[in-house]
Amino acid sequence: MFARKLLGLAAGAALALSMALVPARAEVSEVRISKGYGILYLPLFVMQEKRFLESQAAKAGLGDLKVTWLTLDGGNVINDAMIAGSLDIAGTGAPGFLALWSKGRGSAKTEVTGVSGLSTTALDLNVNKPEIKSLADFTPKDKIAIPGIKTSLAAVVLQMAVAKQFGPENYTKLDASTVGLPHPEAVAALLSGRTEIVGHFASPPFTQVERADPKIRTILKASQVFGNITLDVVFALKRFTEANPKVTQAFLAALDESCAFIVQNKAETAEIFARASKVKVAPEEVARILDDPDSQFSATPTGIMEFVTFMHRAGIMKSRPATWQELFIPALRDRAGS
């Protein structure tokens, strides 16, 4: 009897030990990340080049995390890829993320969350038509190139600028004039002067490439209208971040590392971007962009609620967060964001 009880205890102990040795459900071994073309995505260019995410993942005990990088431009394209399940983490314009957050809120399948802030840089409306000196001068035939219509960063910033000039009720006044084009194609169209594209809402380095042509002028600078608010953020499906908390935290640590690297190593950062850029730009020009006070890179979001206020009033966001912290992962919520 005693021997049988002893055997039972031993079996129970062995079972408990075996259960303790079974690892928790594994996180992903590959993460797919997208970035766009311009300087707004610079921390992601640096992260890819310096393999900061792979390093942070190894430190977190995640082993050899495979990181696959994609280039997607325009909020609509990025949103579709995310919902389709072909993308895990994405850099995008803040408005595109906010629209998707509002639309998917409460849905187990489509709810998204912000992983981090990313950047703010100059965002300029450049034109090639001498007659256009302000937003009031665009005719129905004049087209403005932006990466994506309606909810892309440039689209919403343009609407906000229109609302300031013509009144909140007229924020869609120039929507019919916008055409969705990736930045490199928009640059070519504007410089050619042979298409219906007479304006391009451009971020660096595309705005600098355009202004090198004497026919191109800047008629609107977003920073003069709204200040240095976060223009691009990083987001993911909420269920991805919840199922992969260590990968998500490793990404945030890698982004912080990338932003610090940019500040401390401007010359090398300029070379990294110049090599990877889809348009020809010299490292010296990139370095000048980095010295521009409008160029700021941080994982901590700033001024996001200004977008929220406009987009909710315009009906683009059906639901509104009470605070910026509601929009992002818990790891960011103690930071001095807004």
Q: Give the pLDDT confidence of 312-324 residue by residue, as tens digits.
A: 999 999 999 999 9
pLDDT band at 178 (very low <50, low <70, confident <90, very high): very high
Q: Which long-range contacts (CB under 8 A, 24 or more apart) does 238-243 make?
A: 238/111, 238/112, 238/113, 239/108, 239/109, 239/111, 240/88, 240/89, 241/113, 241/115, 241/329, 243/25, 243/27, 243/28
| Residue 315: partners with Cβ closer than 8 Å, 6 or more residues away | none
pLDDT at 280 over 50: yes
Of 101, 57, 66, the closest CA to residue 83 belongs to: 101
DSSP β-ladder status, 296-297 and 112-120:
antiparallel
Q: Which residues pair with 200 in a beta bridge?
A: 126, 145
pLDDT digits (tens, 9 = 90+) for 86-120: 999 999 999 989 999 999 999 999 999 999 999 99
Q: What is the pLDDT of residue 243?
A: 97
Distance CA 223, CA 119 (A): 13
Tokens of 275: 């090599």
Distance CA 282, CA 312 (A): 41
For residue 8, is pLDDT > 70? Answer: no
Residue 197 CA to residue 188 CA, distance in Å, equals 10
Q: How far apart are CA 73 and CA 152, in angstroms?
A: 9
Predicted pLDDT at 6: 44
> Which pLDDT value is given to residue 311?
93
Q: Is the model's pLDDT at 10 over the cut of 70?
A: no
CB 199 within 8 A of CB 161: no
Taking the C-alpha atoms of residue 161 and residue 149, their distance in angstroms, rounded to an integer, is: 15
Residue 280's nearest CA partner among 149, 201, 191, 154 is 191
Cβ pair 78, 333 in contact under 8 A = no
Domain map of the chain by residue range?
30-121+229-332, 124-226
| Better pLDDT: 105 or 149 | 105
pTM value? 0.85
CATH assignment of 124-226, among 3.40.190.10, 3.30.413.10, 3.30.450.20, 3.40.630.10:
3.40.190.10
**Residue 7: pLDDT band with limits 50, 70, 90:** very low
- Predicted local distance difference test score (pLDDT) of residue 48: 98
- The predicted-structure confidence for 243-279, as pLDDT tens digits, reads as follows 999 999 999 999 999 999 999 999 999 999 999 988 7
In this structure, how many other beta carbons lie within 10 angstroms of the beta carbon of residue 320? 14
Q: What is the pLDDT of residues 111-144, one digit of tens each?
A: 999 999 999 998 999 999 999 999 999 999 999 9
> How many angstroms separate the CA atoms of 313 and 309, rounded?
6
Domains 30-121+229-332 and 124-226 share a fold: yes
More confident residue, 45 or 3: 45
Residue 75 is predicted with a pLDDT of 65
Alpha-carbon distance of 71 to 276, in angstroms, equals 11
pLDDT digit string (tens) for 191-246?
A: 999 999 999 999 999 999 999 999 999 999 998 888 889 999 999 999 999 999 99
Number of neighbouring beta carbons within 10 Å of residue 15:
10
Q: What is the pLDDT of residue 291?
A: 95
Q: Of 308, 313, 304, give the one whose Cα is nearest residue 336.
A: 304
CATH number, domain 30-121+229-332, options 1.10.3720.10, 3.40.50.720, 3.20.20.70, 3.40.190.10 = 3.40.190.10
**Confidence at 13, pLDDT banded by 50, 70, 90:** very low
Query: Using one digit for the tens of pLDDT, what is the confidence trace for 50-91?
Result: 999 999 999 999 999 999 999 987 667 887 888 888 999 999
